[in-house]
Amino acid sequence: MLLLRLTPTEPKNIIPRNVGFKTLFMTFAKRLREGVRRGEITCSVRIWTRPRVRVGARYRIEEGEIEIDSIDPIGFPDITPELARESGFLGILDLLKVAKHGRGENIYLIRFHYLRPRPKGKRQSKPVQQKSKRW
């Protein structure tokens, strides 16, 4: 019998983009998704028990991917009206209603940039070189 190990080999506090056969997604409220795609929203505040993303990794969103530029622990005083608007929310209360995920108590500021989906075109084939014939 052959056993395959499908658990990640990285430290437990880091989640890789692909675990086994499942691609990980980073979700955004529906009203924020278009702003992320246009590049108007480039940060997110998340309240988690531990970081669920890692710097340099790419995470799928509905269309395309985001690449994480930085993840920094912050405190409640760091959540300003300006940061809330930069994250796509009307204000601090609006942001806090969405930011909490599960039992988390640690606040993280995640900065990212959007990557458009790759075009699904035909693969370019290399021209076939014919050998010259000698007569």
pLDDT, one tens digit per residue, over 39-88 is 999 999 999 999 989 999 999 888 899 999 999 999 999 999 999 999 99
Share of the chain residues as helix, strand and coil, in percent rounded to the nearest 5 = 20, 25, 55
Instruction: Give the CATH number of the domain where residue 65 resides.
Output: 2.30.130.30
User: How many structural domains is the chain composed of?
Assistant: 1
pLDDT in tens, 112-123: 999 998 877 655
Residue 109 placed within a domain: yes
Residue 28 placed within a domain: yes
Residue 129 placed within a domain: no
Residue 135 placed within a domain: no
Beta strands in 26-133 (DSSP E): 43-48, 58-60, 65-74, 106-115
Residue 125 placed within a domain: no
Q: Would you give the distance in Å from CA 65 to the centre of its chain?
A: 6
Residue 127 placed within a domain: no
Q: What is the pLDDT of residue 82?
A: 97
The answer on pLDDT for 16 being more than 50 is: no
Residue 99 placed within a domain: yes
Q: Which of 93-102, 110-119, 121-130 has the lowest mean pLDDT?
A: 121-130
Residue 54 placed within a domain: yes
Name the residue range of residue 26's domain.
22-115
Q: What is the pLDDT of residue 24?
A: 56
Confidence of residue 108 (pLDDT cuts 50, 70, 90): very high
Confidence of residue 25 (pLDDT cuts 50, 70, 90): low
**CA 111, CA 108: separation in Å to the nearest integer?**
10
